[in-house]
Structure 1
């Protein structure tokens, strides 16, 4: 049965990448690692259900808590629905981004039985890029799938910077040409069945940053979440201080003074927009910085503890374990082991 034809452009706006200069620093500092992991050829009728976020991370990037998933529509038309929610449509040239790697379903123009994606391909390791073929032989939709891992708070589900899924169509102009050329290159690479190690890792990273930039430039202003916070006249000055000086012994009174507001107003804005108190946000930010230092430096735990504002290594270790479920040493060892395997 044919599904109702959605209105053209219903799921995405025309993006103006210059509209939101406040996000430039956040996007420029992103640390990402990822890959294109398969391409798919679906023919009507078709539909599938993805792995859970935990299953996706375990399969594609062991040691990660969750991944950012993106789909490039190389040909045809499809829909995506996270958590069984509203279906969002994408056409050729569009990029679908699931910033928190939520479990989702995808399908074509006609209704079809939804099958688990893991039944359609062999699990890794792969010598070459796997190709998923599924459907009943009708009109074809080609999709290139990739993932990225980032510990940046921009992709922390608790900060609600993004919706569960968004669809981006590059606007006209030089940037659109670059994005579309990158998409064409990704498709060409995937079609050549190259060894997985020969696929440029920078390609999915650059594509994601541009997709995020375009989405944020065209998205309506939000009332809560991290993006709303860095635009908020009360929160923005306080966040700038916390981010610039995470090791300082901050009090709510000091932060309120930096924003020229009362302590009660600052606390109220943090809880309303970010869903946590100022000091809880500071702790979360420190743990984010600590994971980066553990992963990218040889500094001892005591040194890292002091860098992020803890005089006592024991207090830092307790806070880190509450945040991540592992001690700093165990977390670093696991991260190192995973890096050696990749």
Structure 2
């Protein structure tokens, strides 16, 4: 029987409903810079440095950094160790919030080359530019990093997937992404100590915008979703859901993750996120599924299994209820 908090412990008042995602993200302290430009020609592929090596170069003392790649031209894919390819094209932003080991490549298959063989070690006398490939059509990628001591970037909470692609909608957001990264490239210069100095605020603003676009589909984002990641009761429950959306969670098994009673967990969810736990779980599964449909070639049944549905039919029904369109429609 899970332990219940003492009766005098009351659920805190619900957060201010006017606290928007923009305001919440504005309180997340980020620091980072653009640090690399890649000019890749078909056919090409490379494997990045391990996370600890990347962090040692870019943010000494940190165990990991968040990475982002902005595709300036062409089309490419990025995959983690599971091998699933997430595709991106010009104007898209690829985010690896935990800096995981990854491989990137173009539209034609090629054996991956280690980044260690392509990139000269620091200190750099100029921003590194990697030119790699066999001379075919070109893909340009701008690489940056961020470091943040915030639960949003805590791997244990899994608030963000380890890899996702954001495609800003046509209009001001997409134009701003392109303009800001172009300006950052023109202004960024090497620092005497071997790092990079320049308009670091621009990468921070860019990633805030990308996170806002990505999280806009998260359950109850207009309330205190990010605040819930800091809540001692909700944080371990959210971490469990985010880490394993495919599990057959019940309110009872979720309550055991936080060592509280079922009734207390339900009350806490409704007060902070304005959703019952299982409704949040379903919404999170649909959020994850939509991202996979947009950026990967995984089949609909495979995506359904990844988010906890035994059959393609059950997943399709749930997805259409949540988004008003079938999974195949969302993919188009």
Alignment TM-score, normalising by the size of structure 1: 0.58
Q: Which deviations, in whole Å up to 9, do the C-alpha atoms of 1:21-66 show, x marking residues without a partner? A: 6433431111111111110111111001111111111122110121
Q: CA deviation at 1:187?
A: 4.5
Match of 2:190 among 191, 195, 198: 195
SS of equivalent residue, structure 1 residue 146: strand
- Distance (whole Å) between structure 1 residues aligned to residue 169 and residue 49 of structure 2: 31
Contact 2:19/2:222 (CA < 8 Å) preserved in 1? no
Instruction: Find the aligned partners of 2:68 and 2:179 in 1 and give their Cα distance.
Output: 17
Tell me the SS of whatever aligns to 1:31.
Answer: coil
Q: Are 2:181 and 2:202, in contact at CA under 8 Å, matched by a contact in 1? A: no
Match of 2:212 in 1: 213
**Partners of 1:41 and 1:131 within 8 A in 2:** yes
Please list the CA deviations of residues 139-195 of structure 1 after superposition, one character each: whole Å capped at 9, or x if unmatched: 1111111111111111000111111111112123333332221133234457xxx43
- Cα deviation for residue 84 of structure 1 reads 3.5
8 Å CA contact 2:91, 2:167 repeated in 1: yes
Determine the C-alpha separation between the residues in 2 that align with 1:238 and 1:177. Answer: 34
Task: Tell me how far apart the structure 1 counterparts of residues 95 and 161 of structure 2 sit (CA, whole Å).
Answer: 10
SS at match of 1:93: coil
For residues 296-339 of structure 1, the C-alpha deviation after alignment (integer angstroms, 9 at most, x for no partner) is xxxxxxxxxxxxxxxxxxxxxxxxxxxxxxxxxxxxxxxxxxxx
Contact 2:78–2:104 (8 Å) recurs in 1: yes
Q: Does 1:121 align with 2:140?
A: no
Task: Answer whether contact 2:157 2:229 (CA < 8 A) is retained.
Answer: no
Listed as ranges, the gaps of 5+ residues in structure 1 are 1-19, 244-261, 273-342
Secondary structure of 2:143's partner? strand
Corresponding residue for 2:128?
Answer: 130
Is the counterpart of residue 239 in structure 1 residue 238 in structure 2?
no
Matches within 5 A, 1:1-342: 22-189=20-187, 194-196=189-191, 197-217=196-216, 219=217, 221=219, 230-231=224-225, 236=228, 239=231, 263-265=260-262
Check conservation: 2:144, 2:203, Cα contact below 8 A: yes
Say if 1:47 and 1:113, in contact at 8 Å, map to a contact too: yes
CA pair 115-266 structure 1, distance change in 2 beyond 3 A = farther
Instruction: Report how many residues are paired.
Output: 225
Q: Which has the higher helix share?
A: 1
CA distance in 2 between partners of 1:47 and 1:130 (Å): 18
Mean Cα displacement is larger for which, 24-33 or 100-109? Answer: 24-33
Which structure 2 residue ranges, 5 or more long, are not aligned?
Answer: 1-17, 236-258, 270-332
1:205, distance to aligned residue in structure 2 (A): 0.9
Tell me how large the CA RMSD over aligned residues is. Answer: 3.5
CA contact (8 A) 2:20 2:223 kept: no
